[in-house]
Structure 1
């Protein structure tokens, strides 16, 4: 039996798909997935705002944090206590920046389950019949690649991968600029945004569409909320 959130999401995405079919035709289901994703990200927007505030606060405290590391670097326990006290006194949570990403996990799980389940609430999952240039929304790249690389379904997946890489590129550059030059594993860390491309190779096409919309939203959100404060 599927989780209640999956059933509710199915009803919502299916209703959106049917409402959009008169204007979007074969792309109605993809547009419905995009709208579902944007609705989820809108719900999580307060966490994004909190993360942006936390990042600015951590940047403001960076000199003091560096001083604590210099003074207590040889005493990890004392350093931990001093950092905790500083963050508590300033009302800054070191984990605030992770909250938006963690909060997205349930929505991604729901989208994955939605397009990997043949039956939803005792009925056939009609969303699986929808396609993008012949590529079923419930199929992964390996499934469509069996028909040939230069077929319409395979090229639809390739187009999705290219778009995901295009969104990951500026995110990677932004991360690279934020990392300390001497940070161990820096080269690996700056490749993390491209993880969505690797994930999309193995996920259903619908989940890949979700990743594309949510990563584009994240990039835009960071550009708006994490702008440097204007100089006095």
Structure 2
């Protein structure tokens, strides 16, 4: 964790110094909370390239679901062959099924490092990395609204009702933003074919499991850490809303809404509206195919002389040759 302590403390101290330069109280709880929010924004800005990969991978996973279903029908009896063909499909389509987990996996060590920084070093006034002993004491003693320590938790509130109320509000906000982000992805940016496969089942599981995990664990998180995770969720929700609105996956509700907005915008500015005309497939009746007679043996032909071809008429004056 030592490299993470240096990285996190450097960003945190830099934001604290900048806020103090602007005239905020260096020992105030609001200053340290804003520094934590600044740390969150810095981390999320650095993770934008990974978020782009996550969006692309998630979109590809949605679009190839019909092909995945076909493979399951074809090789459902052979799990090894099914796994090989599925991985080949992922490779050919440029899809990484694990890319959607990268942002949260990278954030977890940062989250744990910040948790230790608040719960241990700041609470005990023990400096580490770029967070000196004096700054650690200031961090550990900082209070919001003059009464709520940012190192306190819902379970360790020292009998302060204000701590429990603020912690409960932040836990609910963290849980609600997690649920809303997942719900937004499923309801707006997933085609109908992707809502019934194994990928959809995984998304539905995350939709309900992740908020419960955060709600249960959130009561043990310090106030400062709750601010970090809630801010991170708000960033994710806004970033995802922007991507879904402006670059939705084909065949989704978001794509239909974007097409309607584009048509309305074009009509407002007097531009010709491009409409996509679906090809009409006419029901053309084909002439019935001539049924070929069944092959019969020589014995069958003798038994059914009616099916034998009629003899050709003899020419006048001809012979029996």
Scaled to the shorter chain, the TM-score interval is 0.7 to 0.9
State the alpha-carbon separation in 1 of the partners of residues 35 and 24 from structure 2: 10
Query: Given that residues 132 and 153 in structure 1 are in contact (C-alpha distance below 8 angstroms), is that contact kept between their aligned partners in structure 2?
Result: no
**Partner Cα distance (2:216, 2:61) in 1:** 31
For structure 1, which runs of at least 5 residues remain unmatched after alignment? none
Q: Is residue 83 from structure 1 mapped to residue 86 from structure 2 by the alignment?
A: yes
Residues 143, 150 of structure 2: 8 Å contact kept: yes
Change over 3 Å in CA distance of 1:106–1:186 after alignment to 2: closer
2:183·2:207 contact (CA, 8 Å) conserved in 1? yes
Q: How does 1:130-145 map to 2 (within 5 A)?
A: 130-133=142-145, 134-144=147-157
Q: Determine whether 1:38 maps to 2:41.
A: yes
Alignment RMSD (CA, Å):
2.7
The question of whether the paired residues in 2 share the 8 Å contact of 1:140 and 1:205 is answered with yes
SS of equivalent residue, structure 2 residue 64: helix
Q: Give 1:40-189 correspondences, 5 Å limit.
A: 40-116=43-119, 117=121, 118=124, 119-121=126-128, 123=133, 125-126=136-137, 127-133=139-145, 134-144=147-157, 146-148=158-160, 151-174=161-184, 177=187, 180=196, 189=206
Matched, 1:212 2:230: yes
Q: Is the 8 A contact 1:172 1:193 kept in 2?
A: no
Q: Judging changes above 3 Å, is the alpha-carbon distance between structure 1 residues 181 and 67 closer, same or farther for their aligned structure 2 residues?
A: closer
Distance 1:184 1:38 in 2: 31
SS of residue paired to 1:142? coil
Separation in 2 of the partners of 1:15 and 1:187? 40
Task: Name the CA distance, whole Å, in 2 between partners of 1:217 and 1:164.
Answer: 12
What's the secondary structure of 1:93's corresponding residue? coil
Check 1:199–1:15 CA distance in 2 against 1; reply closer, same or farther (3 A cut): same
Within 2, Cα distance between the matches of 1:113 and 1:3? 11
Which whole-Å CA distance do the structure 2 matches of 1:66 and 1:181 have between them? 7
Aligned to 1:221: 239
TM-score, with length taken from structure 2: 0.63
State the alpha-carbon separation in 2 of the partners of residues 6 and 123 from structure 1: 14
**Maintained 8 Å contact 1:115/1:204:** yes
- Residue 5 of structure 1 is matched in structure 2 by 4
Q: Bigger shift: 57-66 or 73-82? A: 57-66
Distance 1:147 1:200, change over 3 A: same
Secondary structure, aligned partner of 2:16: helix
TM-score if structure 1 supplies the norm length? 0.85
Relative to structure 1, the CA distance from residue 81 to residue 188 in structure 2 (aligned partners, 3 Å threshold; closer, same or farther) is closer
Structure 2 segments unaligned to the other structure (5+ residues): 250-254, 260-275, 277-321
Query: 1:95 Cα deviation (Å)?
Result: 1.0
* 1:186–1:92 distance in 2 versus 1, CA, 3 Å: closer
1:172·1:192 contact (CA, 8 Å) conserved in 2? no
Query: Is the Cα contact below 8 Å between 1:132 and 1:156 reproduced in 2?
Result: no
User: In the alignment, is the contact (CA less than 8 A) between 1:138 and 1:205 conserved in 2?
Assistant: yes
Larger Rg: 2
For 1:198, which of 212, 216, 221 is the aligned residue?
Answer: 216
Distance change >3 Å, CA 159–CA 222, structure 1 → 2: same
Q: Could you say which structure has the higher helix fraction?
A: 1
CA distance in 1 between partners of 2:205 and 2:64 (Å) = 26
